[in-house]
C-alpha cells in the first residue's frame, strides 16, 4: 500500500509523465504498477524483483519490460542491483510493520534450517557481500568439509535479496529425501520447495545453490 504522500511526490510525478500516452495521463498506470510491485515484495518479505521478464510476469505486463524497468530505475522506484536484476528501492524504510515481522520470522526459520541441515558452503565457495547493501563487508569463511556444521552462517534480520546459502540448505534437505535424474530436476524441486517455505529466490540464487549442492554430493561420492 502506498504512503499517503505518494501522489504528490516528485518521483511519482516523473513516472506519471514517462507513462503518459494519448489515451491516459499515466497516473493510473503508475499507481497500478507500483502497487503490484510493492504487494509482491510484501508477500515475499523481500525487495527482490528479479529480471525485467520477472517484473513483467508480476505485473502481467505485455509491453517492453526492459524499457519499463529503466523508467522505474530512473524515477527511483527500482534499483538495478546487478546488470539486468532489480529490487524495490528502500523497501524496508517504507514497508508496513507486518512485512518486517514476516522477514524476521523467515530469518528465524532459516536459522533453524541451518541448525539441522549441514554446511551451506563448499571449500571453494567464499561468502559474498550483499549486492543491495555494498556497505556491508564480507566475512571470510574457513575451509571445511563438503558438508559440515553451518553454525557460523549469519543471516541478516533484513535480507535484501534471495540468500543462495539458505536455498542450498533446502537443496541438501531435498537430496537427502529423494534422488533426482538431473540437475534441472533438482533446480525445479528447489524452486517448488522455496515457494512452499516462503523463501525468496531468483534465477541466479537458485543456480548457485544448486551448484553448491551438486558439488557437495559429488564430493561425497553419491
Name the average pLDDT for the chain.
Answer: 75
- Mean pLDDT score, 79-105: 87
Question: Can you tell me the distance from the alpha carbon of 75 to that of 55, in angstroms, rounded to the nearest whole number?
Answer: 16
Q: Cα angle vertex 187, ends 139, 201, to 5°? A: 50
Question: Can you tell me the distance from the alpha carbon of 153 to that of 115, in angstroms, rounded to the nearest whole number?
Answer: 10
DSSP secondary structure string, 44-79? HTS-EEESHHHHHHHHT--S-HHHHHHHHHHTTSEE
Q: What is the pLDDT of residue 161?
A: 61
Extended beta strands in the chain, E state: 48-50, 78-82, 85-88
Q: Which residue has the higher pLDDT, 5 or 43?
A: 43
Q: What is the pLDDT of residue 108?
A: 73
Q: What is the pLDDT of residue 158?
A: 38
- Mean pLDDT score, 51-64: 92
User: Lowest mean pLDDT: which of 69-73, 125-129, 146-150, 184-188?
Assistant: 146-150
Q: What is the pLDDT of residue 64?
A: 95
Q: What domains can be seen in the chain, in order of their start residue?
A: 6-94 (1.10.10), 97-219 (no CATH)
pTM over 0.75: no
pLDDT over 70, % of the chain: 72
Q: Using 50, 70 and 90 to split pLDDT, how confident is the model at 189?
A: confident
Q: What is the pLDDT of residue 110?
A: 64
Decide if pLDDT at 43 tops 70: yes
Tens-digit pLDDT profile for residues 117-145: 444 444 344 444 444 444 444 333 333 33
Compute φ and ψ for 26, nearest 5 degrees.
100, -10
Q: If you search the block for the grid coordinates 508496513, which residue do you land on?
A: 96
Decide if pLDDT at 222 tops 90: no
Q: If you search the block for the grid coordinates 510476469, which residue do you land on?
A: 57
Amino acid at each position: 500500500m502506498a504512503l499517503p504522500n505518494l501522489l504528490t511526490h516528485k518521483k511519482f510525478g516523473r513516472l506519471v509523465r514517462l507513462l503518459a500516452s494519448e489515451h491516459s495521463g499515466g497516473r493510473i498506470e503508475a499507481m497500478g504498477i507500483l502497487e503490484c510491485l510493492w504487494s509482491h515484495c510484501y508477500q515475499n518479505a523481500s525487495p527482490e524483483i528479479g529480471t525485467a521478464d520477472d517484473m513483467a510476469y508480476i505485473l502481467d505486463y505485455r509491453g517492453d519490460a526492459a524499457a519499463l524497468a529503466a523508467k522505474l530505475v530512473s524515477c527511483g522506484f527500482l534499483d538495478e542491483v546487478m546488470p539486468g536484476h532489480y529490487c524495490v528501492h528502500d523497501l524496508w524504510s517504507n514497508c508496513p510493520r507486518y512485512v518486517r515481522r514476516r522477514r524476521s520470522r523467515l530469518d528465524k526459520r532459516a536459522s533453524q534450517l541451518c541448525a539441522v541441515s549441514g554446511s551451506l558452503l563448499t571449500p571453494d565457495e567464499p561468502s559474498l557481500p550483499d549486492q543491495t547493501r555494498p556497505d556491508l563487508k564480507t566475512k571470510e569463511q574457513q575451509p571445511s568439509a563438503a558438508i559440515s556444521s553451518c553454525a557460523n552462517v549469519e543471516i541478516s534480520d533484513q535480507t535484501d535479496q534471495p540468500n543462495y546459502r539458505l536455498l542450498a540448505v533446502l537443496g541438501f534437505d531435498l537430496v537427502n529425501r529423494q534422488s533426482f535424474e538431473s540437475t534441472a530436476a533438482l533446480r525445479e524441486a528447489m524452486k517448488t520447495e522455496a515457494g512452499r517455505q516462503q523463501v525468496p529466490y531468483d534465477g541466479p540464487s537458485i543456480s548457485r545453490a544448486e551448484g553448491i549442492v551438486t558439488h557437495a554430493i559429488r564430493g561425497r561420492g553419491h
